[in-house]
Amino acid sequence: MNFSRISKKNKITITVIGLLSALMSIFFSSIVEFLLDFAHTYLNPYNATYTKGHEMTIQISVGLLILLGILICCSLLFKWHSRIYNLLNRLFQFNDLKNLIFSDPLTTKSHLSKNVFVISVFIALVLHIKQLLIGDIHSGTMDEHILEYLSSILLIIAAVILIVSIVYLKNINIEAAHKKIISRILIPFSLLLVLVFLEEISWGQQFLKWESPDMFIDTNFQNETNLHNFINPFLRFLYPMIGIGLFIILFLLWFYYKGDKPFWLKLLTPHPSLSYMAFFMACTSYAGISEIFELLLYPFILLYSIRILMCLKYPNSVQLKPNY
């Protein structure tokens, strides 16, 4: 192995990840103790006793992070990633899959899909590491409300982006029928996002200062003046339908759709760069009500809306033939 032949970027990556892995190994016990204290202090409102099982879970999670760092360093040092890439390319036509995920024929922004993929993978990994280390935030705590507000803000941002996208749609050189389909889907979807955002922040009490009537107190599961808590018993079925159903539909559209897709379908179908996040959403939705599913769904919608805006604001003229 000749270290001088390794690229500067890989050298920096190896150094940073190697140092972090070494520090985590040296201060392993301190890190585990800190995470246990943090979870017990801030994420345990009922002062439940943490068992050896909780400690072991955190130890395993930290150990896996260290192992992952070591594997990344070894992969870059000995070029394992190149060998794995070549093997996957021979077995699964990896280049075609790479082009599918990292390129978007509808926009001139060549790095958009790659950036979306990196961001979606990062979000999914961070949320799952959080789930492994501390689990769900307990219902009714201040931390849960803050997290709900912060995540739900993504919905209102996505709604605004979609409305702006409709404005850019007027300048696109496509058939009027395609524009009509896109508008008729994006406008109701934007309004739905606004409604979900208002529901998440309990808009009746927060803005209109409504008092919860007896009907809400008797039937609403959180005694809040909103609508979605009435259907809480059905969310355990609705979440899997959305998560697993969405992934199956997207998988079929991405890999098994035959023939040319019309422009409106290409635009409105989530891009394959979101495939990793869609897969994780499906995996987390099977249990029904899941905090992590919502935390994945809202960034998914935001990234989806950003892609639509970029495709309409910076369109690829090759894809905008009048007869397309």
From 322, 320, 306, select the one nearest 111 (Cα to Cα): 306
Top mean pLDDT of 135-144, 181-190, 283-292 is at: 181-190
280-302 per-position pLDDT tens digit: 999 888 766 567 888 899 999 99
Structure tokens at 105: 């024929």
CB count within 10 Å of CB 71 equals: 13
pLDDT at 8 over 90: no
148-174 per-position pLDDT tens digit: 677 789 999 999 999 999 999 988 888
CB 201 within 8 A of CB 153: no
For the chain, the maximum distance between any two Cα atoms, rounded to a whole number of angstroms, is 75
| Rounded average pLDDT over 85-99 | 75
Weakest mean pLDDT among 118-127, 241-250, 310-319:
310-319
Which own/partner pairs from 199-208 qualify as long-range (CB within 8 Å, at least 24 positions apart)? 199/226, 199/227, 199/228, 200/148, 200/149, 200/151, 200/152, 200/155, 201/148, 201/149, 201/152, 202/226
Helix, coil or strand: residue 31: helix
Residue carrying structure tokens 């021979």: 90
pLDDT at 51 over 70: no
53-87 per-position pLDDT tens digit: 777 888 888 899 999 999 999 888 888 877 877 77
Weakest mean pLDDT among 94-98, 131-135, 170-174:
131-135
Q: What is the mean pLDDT of the chain?
A: 81
Top mean pLDDT of 3-17, 167-181, 213-227 is at: 167-181
Query: What is the CA 295 to chain-centroid distance, rounded?
Result: 7
The predicted model scores a pTM of: 0.71
pLDDT at 15 over 60: yes
Alpha-carbon separation of residue 272 from 69, 91, 176, 278, 283 (angstroms): 27, 20, 27, 9, 17
Interhelix angle 112-134/275-285, rounded to 10 degrees, is 30
| Rounded average pLDDT over 185-208 | 80
pLDDT for position 26: 94
